[in-house]
């Protein structure tokens, strides 16, 4: 049993961390710069970010390796450093976790390659598997507890990442971004995603959603994922509201208080791993931690109740999807 499974069995609900990229920008990350290079050039800043999430109460640290495949690192002439970059990402987080005095899961972030697979693009399935194997080899060498495959859209790319995790010998979590009318950009629906994960010969430790277009959209998608989870723990790692331009900065509409409410709704839905993606600062994570610690449960919210609490959907799903989601379940 890996550490994530162990902690889920012990605690039932785990708190993940917040954003990486949107928190590194005010720390000096320039547009177009590879965040992964900071695993060597600005280790202290990556440590500061991870430590802030540990202090906020996170049980899971996601490594600074989202764009760590050779396909993405090639854009920065770093494709010959894939393994050491990913190993360093896991080591930085792992060293801090070891000093924390409590058990923390090191989730090796694996984002999309950034390329479309054939026939829509030039990347072959085999090429995607190869890229993910190289990245996960580094993450495993650095001590990552699990492959955290995130922000996915294409079913084929998901399969390639899962095959790579199996080849490297890592258990995995996989999350999609349902940002296009309640589906991923490549048309994968939350219910179909759940069914696909149930059918895997080696099931994920958990699956769910991250990023997307706002907390409301993510939780509405989560209704169907929970209903089609087959008992697999579900992840919700939502953005802090929606991004808005404020002068020369991008700010997110969701306050820490809103994300605390989001965490309570997620618990009522039956979500097992709760956290934040873009725009979520340590203050947002602290609000979620307080909610997880103090919430006493309640009815699973309908889509309408989620919208009333967190705001309107940015990219609404079809009426059929919302109607099918409109049901209650009691959770203690």
Query: Residue 70's closest CA among 164, 1, 133, 6?
Result: 133
Which tens digit of pLDDT belongs to each residue from 234-279?
999 999 988 887 877 788 999 999 999 999 999 999 999 999 999 9
The domain spans of the chain are 3-325
Q: What average pLDDT does the structure give for the chain?
A: 94
Structural contact between residues 243 and 278, judged by C-beta atoms closer than 8 angstroms = yes
Which tens digit of pLDDT belongs to each residue from 287-325?
999 999 999 889 999 999 999 999 999 999 766 544 333
Question: What pLDDT does residue 320 have?
Answer: 52
Q: pTM score, two decimals?
A: 0.94
Instruction: Say what percent of the chain tops pLDDT 70.
Output: 95
Question: What pLDDT does residue 6 have?
Answer: 97
- The architecture in CATH of the region 3-325 reads Alpha-Beta Barrel (3.20)
Find the DSSP H helices in the chain: 3-11, 21-24, 38-41, 43-56, 70-73, 82-99, 125-141, 155-168, 190-198, 215-227, 256-269, 282-294, 303-310, 319-325
Structural contact between residues 5 and 265, judged by C-beta atoms closer than 8 angstroms = no
Is residue 332 pLDDT above 60, yes or no?
no
Which tens digit of pLDDT belongs to each residue from 14-45?
999 999 999 999 999 998 899 999 999 999 99
d(CA 4, CA 11): 10
Tell me what the mean pLDDT of segment 208-235 comes to: 97
């Amino acid at each position: 049993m890996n550490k994530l499974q162990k902690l889920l069995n012990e605690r039932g609900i785990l708190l993940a961390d917040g954003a990486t990229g949107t928190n590194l920008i005010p720390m000096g990350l320039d547009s177009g710069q590879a965040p992964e290079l900071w695993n060597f050039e600005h280790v202290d800043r990556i440590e500061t970010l991870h430590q802030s999430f540990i202090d906020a109460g996170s049980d899971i640290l996601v490594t600074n390796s989202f764009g760590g495949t050779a396909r993405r690192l090639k854009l920065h002439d770093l494709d010959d450093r894939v393994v050491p970059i990913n190993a360093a990402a896991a080591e930085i987080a792992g060293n801090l976790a070891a000093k924390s005095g409590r058990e923390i899961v090191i989730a090796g972030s694996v984002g999309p390659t950034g390329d479309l697979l054939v026939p829509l693009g030039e990347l072959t399935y085999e090429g995607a598997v190869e890229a993910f194997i190289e990245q996960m080899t580094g993450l495993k060498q650095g001590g990552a507890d699990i492959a955290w495959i995130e922000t996915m859209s294409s079913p084929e790319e998901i399969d390639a990442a899962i095959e790579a995790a199996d080849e490297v010998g890592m258990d995995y979590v996989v999350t999609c971004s349902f940002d296009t009318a309640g589906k991923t950009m490549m048309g994968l629906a939350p219910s179909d995603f759940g069914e696909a994960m149930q059918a895997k010969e080696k099931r994920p430790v958990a699956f769910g959603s991250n990023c997307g277009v706002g907390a409301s959209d993510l939780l509405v998608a989560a209704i169907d994922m929970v209903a089609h989870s087959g008992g697999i723990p579900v992840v919700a790692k939502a953005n802090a509201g929606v991004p808005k331009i404020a002068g020369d900065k991008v700010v997110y509409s969701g306050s820490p208080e809103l994300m605390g409410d989001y965490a309570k709704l997620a618990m009522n839905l039956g979500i097992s791993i709760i956290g934040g993606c873009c725009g979520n600062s340590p203050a947002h994570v602290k609000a979620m931690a307080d909610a997880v610690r103090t919430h006493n449960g309640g009815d699973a919210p309908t889509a309408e109740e989620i919208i009333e609490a967190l705001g309107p959907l940015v990219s609404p799903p079809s009426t059929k999807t919302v109607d099918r989601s409109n049901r209650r379940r009691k959770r203690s």
